[in-house]
A and B are shown apart, each in its own frame.
Chain A
Amino acid sequence: MKHILSNILFIFLFVQINLVFAIHPGSKQELYPFDSSEQKQLFDKITSESRCLVCQNETLADSTSGLANDLRREIYQQVKSGSDQKNIEQYLVERYGQFILFKPKWNALNAILWVTPFAFILIIIIAAFYWISGYQKKKITRLASDVIKKNPSTASQNLPVWSVKTLGNSTPVQMRFWSKFLLFLCAMMMATGLYWFLGSGQAWLSYQQVQKKQDHLLAEIKKLGGMEQMILRLRQQLQQKPEGYGFYLLGRLLLGQGEYSDAMIALQKATQFQNLSPEQMQQTQQMMSFLQAQLKEGTAVSIQLPVKVSLGVEYKKQVKDNDVLFVFAQLADQGERTPPVAVVRRLVKDLPLTVTLDETMAMLPDHSLAQAKQVRIVARISKTGQPQSTPGDLWGQSQVIDVKSPPPSIDVVIDRSVECAL
């Protein structure tokens, strides 16, 4: 069960890969006209050096969160009224603490922060130096006392540390020096090696590879003209040259696009060819049983939730007709943590619209409206076409709905924008 779940989730994610890159809603600069370029520069400097408290890795200049918007407006007004960087930063710090500054100010507490790394490096270098040369010192003292014994007129007991070379016959000392140095080097290499094998070194490398592959894939899909074009091409190719693996892939892609009956046909064709690997065969079986459940005709649909979706007036300008709209029911106590129990995909041009969610619209077997108790209906306009929320997406949600006794009509108004990337 868990396997199917992760498998289908993977398909879902894979197929819905971000095709068009996030479009930033409007240019921020036009919103904030300045009298002089100095003021504009000051505004840009402050907003790009301050942290958005909501999306903590973004600057106030980049973030689409509501708070960042408010703070930009506030900073704009202060810059316009002639305030300087110091005062505005003080204003921000008084309210949100030092954390809001990406570049911490130089004060007693932060000094520790700045100095410690260098102090540590210095300590390590001094310690290593001392350790490596320590033996030499002893050796020198011994050699020196030998010299003194032989030649008592040399009064000085404290010969300089590095005078070893002048004492001649320094080979054993030099060897000790280099052996210690090598030992030090070995310890460093061993630490790196241990991290590599026991720590996350390899995981990091494979993450990089996966990332690279994914970027490559994205670029390929984009080159081909999007997922729908890709499916079309695959279909044409399969018509000319039917082939098992091709049908298997087509089935996966169609399943992800929500075209269940076509997906079923493709997978059935795939099984007629004997060239699928056991793993692919197993996945095909899983997908087919899932599709069967989805396509089962004549099953009495017992749960129907009619949903009216509309778009807030102030957002009408921010969307395009062909932006993708997802309307879905999520478990009220789970939210985004589990996939929706029912989902439909429409386009913005269909708005305002009424859809009826029922238990056949699930993404996973045994995770449908029939099993749900309380759900929340969410409508999201996805700028990227993918179901995961991305900053700049618009959305709205209903109140919590009792699935067994739903209200006669459920209204969802799309009236807010997504703030943070996950």
Chain B
Amino acid sequence: MNMRYLIPFILFALLILFLWKGLDRDPHHLESALLNKPLPHFVSDDLLNPQEKISEQSLKGKVSLLNVWATWCAACYDEHEFLMQLARQHNIPIYGLNYKDSPEAARQWLHERGNPFVGIISDPQGTMAINLGVYGAPETFILDAQGVVRFRYVGSITSKSWEEKMMPVIQRWSHSE
């Protein structure tokens, strides 16, 4: 059989492959531009202890999570419960980034609902968030022990996405600590 008759089939298969992949892609889930890059330099007041500073150095030493949240974000309400559970059950430090929020409202929120964070970056203007490429809340970054961004999750974390998407990344980078 002449090989050139195979060409259209190969092209067709390629096209189908591309379209098939396209079906699963959600344009609202963007890959972080910071992926595999270190966290940009910053110094911020800690939301709960304003006299203390948080910088990118604070997030080094251990695989950690950085969760972007706000009291005005409806999905953060759902996620908060899961973060509380994480903080109780897992040994992974969770940092918070309070995004374009009023610090008083944020403190009140944590007071009422509990605080899953070991430290919270206060970012009322959203400038730090721009440097991280944040485009909505909630977003969660996984940082390795060197403070390099290894994964970004957009939206409210559920136990399913935690198990399937985030755990493997955390395990991988915990081993190479």
A residues with CB within 8 A of B: 53-54, 56, 66-67, 70-71, 74, 93-97, 99, 335, 376, 397, 399-400, 415-416
Contacts and interface: CB of A to CB of B under 8 A. Distances in A.
Contacts of A95: 33-34, 130-133
B22 interface: no
A74 B130 CA distance: 9
Contact of B100 (A54, A66, A71, A400): A66
A297 B150 CA distance: 62
Nearest to B7: A127
B33 A96 contact: yes
12 contacts: A53-B30, A70-B100, A70-B126, A93-B33, A95-B33, A95-B131, A95-B132, A96-B30, A96-B135, A97-B31, A99-B30, A335-B74
Given A54-B136, A67-B136, A400-B77, A97 B33 contact: yes
B28 interface: yes
Interface of B: 27-28, 30-34, 72, 74, 77, 100, 125-127, 130-133, 135-136
B25 to A, nearest CB: 12
Contacts of A97: 30-33, 133
Given A53-B30, A93-B33, A99-B30, A66 B126 contact: yes
A56 B27 contact: yes
Nearest to A53: B135
Contacts of A335: 74
Contacts of B33: 93-97
A397 B127 CA distance: 25
Nearest to A69: B126
A71 B30 contact: no
Contacts of A71: 130
Contacts of A67: 126, 135-136
A54 B77 contact: no
Contacts of B28: 56
Contact of A96 (B27, B125, B133): B133
Contacts of A416: 72
Lowest 10 A-B CB distances belong to which pairs? Answer: A53-B135, A97-B33, A95-B133, A70-B126, A96-B133, A67-B135, A96-B33, A95-B33, A54-B135, A416-B72
A398 to B, nearest CB: 11
Contacts of B133: 95-97
Nearest to B34: A95
Contacts of A54: 135-136
Contacts of B32: 97
A272 B77 CA distance: 53
A93 B32 CA distance: 11
B141 to A, nearest CB: 13
Nearest to A97: B33
Contacts of B72: 415-416
Given A67-B135, A71-B130, A99-B30, 8 more contacts: A66-B126, A95-B131, A95-B133, A96-B33, A97-B32, A97-B33, A97-B133, A335-B74
Nearest to A66: B100
Contacts of B132: 95
Contacts of A94: 33
B130 A70 contact: yes
A108 B7 CA distance: 25
A180 to B, nearest CB: 17
A397 B30 contact: no
B165 to A, nearest CB: 19
Nearest to B131: A95
Contacts of B34: 95
A397 B72 CA distance: 9
Contacts of B136: 53-54, 67
A96 B100 CA distance: 18
A37 to B, nearest CB: 27
Nearest to B33: A97
A408 B33 CA distance: 47
A335 B74 CA distance: 10
Contacts of B131: 95
